[in-house]
Structure 1
Amino acid sequence: MTTTDIRTRTAPTSDAHDTHTGREARAHRPQLADIAEQTGFSLATVSKVLNGRTDVSEQTRHTINEALRANGYVRRKNSRKPNPTIEIVFESFDTIWALEILRGVIHAAQMEELSVITTESGDRRHPGADWIDGVLRRAPVGVILVFSNLTNKERERLVEYNIPTVILDPSGDPSPENLSIQADNWTGGLIATRHLLSLGHTRIGIITGPMTMMCSRARLDGYSAALAERGLVYDASLVREGDFHTEEGRLQAMSLLADPQARPSAIFVESDLMAMGVYEAARSLGIRIPEDLSVVGFDNIQTAQFMSPPLTTVTQPLEEMGATATRTILDRQHGLQVQPRTILPTTLVVRDSTQRADDADDALPDF
């Protein structure tokens, strides 16, 4: 049985022998994006030609090679084989959410006898500025970026070294040049809210994730769509923005629940970690779940079923997302056709944190 090593590291400092001369030489090299623009082909196609891939027509190969020669592009001599590793980059590796993604990466990597490197670097939008030099030194088979995106220059450098990259749960709309894996967040928000509506709740609060992130906005849009199906008006006073972490969930729940005359009878929370904070806020205010307040989470992390009461939540297939990202990298390295954007389904798991509203209309139809 193959054992997968996990080596956790922080973002490295810049390459010690990255001299002024080297930087100046790189600044004058033609950019692959220029070649793509001149020829009308995508950066991915230019990359295939540059790396000798066979899934390109001869005419396309000839056109791109001519453009490379005309621009004085010199192929980087990189005889070093990639190290048998997959690198996954987190903003921070401090939650069970991250652990479940990592579990999927490990299981898929084991099938190819690869190790996994975990790196903490940057923020939700971009890895640290010096990460790119470190990953080129480490030369993994491929990279999985959680949330983050890349600049065109960084993308080109990885292409030159034949290091494919997949963005998992992208924070923004991913570039068409990037491979990405995500869950069906809009449907997740829709089915969570539909469930509460079917129980007769009409005053439903929501605690979102950061609104700079695409997944947060998609879940909110699903919530809004479910309300509109029932002819209910979107009420901004019932909306709070969180950060996917427990303490922020508690703070935003306190804001929603503080006024007994205005509080909702149910809350859809865009992460299970924030739902834990909602439970704590309800406890401190003497509000019973689900008798006084129904709660639906999102993610279905392992601890959700052990909360008291067990949490009704939307399953985001975190482990499958990690495994799919890894297999996408391996398929790309093996020269296989891969789907640029993969969206995995979300499903509702009903447990004990929701129940029918006290004032629900018994004749209210289900969806």
Structure 2
Amino acid sequence: MLQGMRDDEDLGRITLAEVAQKAGVSISTVSKVLNGRQDVAAPTRVKVERLLETHSYRRTTRAARETPLIELVFHELDSIWAMELIRGVGNVAKAHQASLVLTESGTRHAPAPDWIEGVMQRRPRGVVLVFSALPAEVKQRLQSRSIPFVIVDPAGDPDPDVPSVGSANWNGGRVATRHLVELGHRRIGIITGPDDMLCSHARLDGYRSALGMAGIEADPALVRYGDFHVEGGFERALELLDLPEPPTAIFAGSDLQALGVLEAARVRGLRVPQDLSVVGYDDVPVARWSSPALTTVHQPLREMAEEAVQMIMRLRDQEPVTTRLELATSLVVRKSTAAPAS
């Protein structure tokens, strides 16, 4: 469990005046660093930040300093599931009389280093980060300003001391593969996500578990790592379909990759689902409008975002929260899967 952030006086921690004295600067300079002001020399900023981190400084009277904003940070705003997360954060932010700020920064693993300077100036009520990790320095600086944060994590597994909301990736891989096995498929290919993301391995482990429970030996030749995008799904699907013994079904680790699989099947003259069954992952709106409509694993993206903002509000009110919240995934059966041809 994580407790809500408390004032530094309550914990007997260092005061602003003591930080200034140890750094050999004025209190106003320390205040500028805390507020993310740019008119502080870099060496001075580093010295003050290190003191704040060493002494676990926590800002007091947060409510008087914060702005009524919830900041949502992505590494790519044009991702197909970004809108679901935006709607979820926006729904709860509005209910708490807060506005939504969108920021694009960094890679899928963490925000860019310069992002933290901007958030120090904006002073939002809280930050929702769509990343798989959070650098220690960023975590400390948010904590020192009493800015609560939660990671919405559709793709990884953050550190255990970072509050986060995720989904059951292993179960998603299992139910997708079990569905294909129950239809009668025995050669089932998988295009999971990038090799450096834990969700990719969790979905792959679920796939292998479902095969094992059905008495089917997993064939390494049927496993591919993708990039969660259409092009990657298309290229990896062609590799699978061009094998001497191609699969009769493919489980794609994202709906975008599944769309690439559908195109690869068309290029190779295969009909879906008569000649090839396809299962996606995420259940984004485009899945139901593909041709044929895509059988997929529903990942509750909007609910994950809503839970993240609720966690921020509880942290802000110094209420205890569960460190890791994992929401259930489920299978949505549409028209892209069927029994294999004889």
Q: Work out whether residues 15 and 134 of structure 1, in 8 Å CA contact, stay in contact via their aligned partners in 2.
A: no
Q: 1:78 to 1:143 in 2, by over 3 A?
A: closer
Partner of 1:278: 261
Task: Provide, for residues 79-107 of structure 1, a one-character-per-residue CA deviation record: whole Å limited to 9, x for no partner.
Answer: 85211111111111112211111111111
Q: 1:198 to 1:190 in 2, by over 3 A?
A: same
Question: The residue matched to 1:96 in structure 2 has which SS?
Answer: coil
Paired AA for residue 44 in structure 2 = G
Deviates more, 1:310-319 or 1:146-155: 146-155
Partner of 1:268: 251
Q: In the alignment, does 2:226 pair up with 1:227?
A: no
Partner of 1:331: 314
Partner of 2:341: 358
Root-mean-square deviation (CA, aligned residues, Å) is 1.9
Q: 1:291 to 1:171 in 2, by over 3 A?
A: closer
Q: Give the unaligned 5+ runs of structure 1.
A: 1-13, 36-45, 53-76, 360-367
Pairing 1:1-367 to 2, within 5 Å after superposition: 16-26=38-48, 29=51, 31-32=53-54, 50=58, 80-169=64-153, 171-259=155-243, 261-359=244-342
Task: Provide, for residues 232-264 of structure 1, a one-character-per-residue CA deviation record: whole Å limited to 9, x for no partner.
Answer: 1111110111111111111111111124x4210
Q: Work out whether residues 209 and 216 of structure 1, in 8 Å CA contact, stay in contact via their aligned partners in 2.
A: yes
Task: Provide, for residues 283-311 of structure 1, a one-character-per-residue CA deviation record: whole Å limited to 9, x for no partner.
Answer: 11111000000001111001111111111
Paired AA for residue 31 in structure 1 = E
- Distance in 1 (CA, whole Å) between partners of 2:340 and 2:72 is 44
Task: Provide, for residues 59-83 of structure 1, a one-character-per-residue CA deviation record: whole Å limited to 9, x for no partner.
Answer: xxxxxxxxxxxxxxxxxx8785211
Task: Provide, for residues 110-168 of structure 1, a one-character-per-residue CA deviation record: whole Å limited to 9, x for no partner.
Answer: 11111111111010111111111111111111111112422222211111111111111
Question: The residue matched to 2:39 in structure 1 has which SS?
Answer: coil
Deviates more, 1:132-141 or 1:144-153: 144-153
- Distance in 2 (CA, whole Å) between partners of 1:311 and 1:30 is 51
Paired AA for residue 119 in structure 1 = T
Question: The residue matched to 1:207 in structure 2 has which SS?
Answer: strand
- Distance in 2 (CA, whole Å) between partners of 1:176 and 1:300 is 27
Q: 1:100 to 1:21 in 2, by over 3 A?
A: same
- Distance in 2 (CA, whole Å) between partners of 1:145 and 1:24 is 24
TM-score, scaled to structure 1: 0.79
Q: 1:81 to 1:284 in 2, by over 3 A?
A: same
Partner of 2:10: none
- Distance in 1 (CA, whole Å) between partners of 2:50 and 2:93 is 38
Question: The residue matched to 1:227 in structure 2 has which SS?
Answer: helix
Q: 1:79 to 1:292 in 2, by over 3 A?
A: closer
Q: 1:79 to 1:17 in 2, by over 3 A?
A: farther
Identity of aligned residues (%): 46
- Distance in 2 (CA, whole Å) between partners of 1:125 and 1:181 is 15
Q: 1:80 to 1:136 in 2, by over 3 A?
A: farther
Partner of 1:58: none
Q: Work out whether residues 75 and 111 of structure 2, in 8 Å CA contact, stay in contact via their aligned partners in 1.
A: yes
Paired AA for residue 294 in structure 2 = L
Q: Work out whether residues 126 and 312 of structure 2, in 8 Å CA contact, stay in contact via their aligned partners in 1.
A: yes
Q: 1:165 to 1:78 in 2, by over 3 A?
A: closer
TM-score, scaled to structure 2: 0.85
Q: Work out whether residues 68 and 98 of structure 2, in 8 Å CA contact, stay in contact via their aligned partners in 1.
A: yes
Q: 1:20 to 1:97 in 2, by over 3 A?
A: closer
- Distance in 1 (CA, whole Å) between partners of 2:78 and 2:52 is 40
Q: Give the unaligned 5+ runs of structure 2.
A: 1-35
Matched residues, number: 307
Q: Work out whether residues 149 and 170 of structure 1, in 8 Å CA contact, stay in contact via their aligned partners in 2.
A: no
Paired AA for residue 266 in structure 1 = A
- Distance in 2 (CA, whole Å) between partners of 1:355 and 1:79 is 56
Q: 1:219 to 1:82 in 2, by over 3 A?
A: same
- Distance in 2 (CA, whole Å) between partners of 1:271 and 1:126 is 21
Deviates more, 1:145-154 or 1:208-217: 145-154
- Distance in 1 (CA, whole Å) between partners of 2:156 and 2:326 is 14
**Once superposed, which parts of structure 1, at least 4 consecutive aligned residues long, lie more than 3 Å away?**
77-80, 170-173
Q: Work out whether residues 127 and 148 of structure 1, in 8 Å CA contact, stay in contact via their aligned partners in 2.
A: no
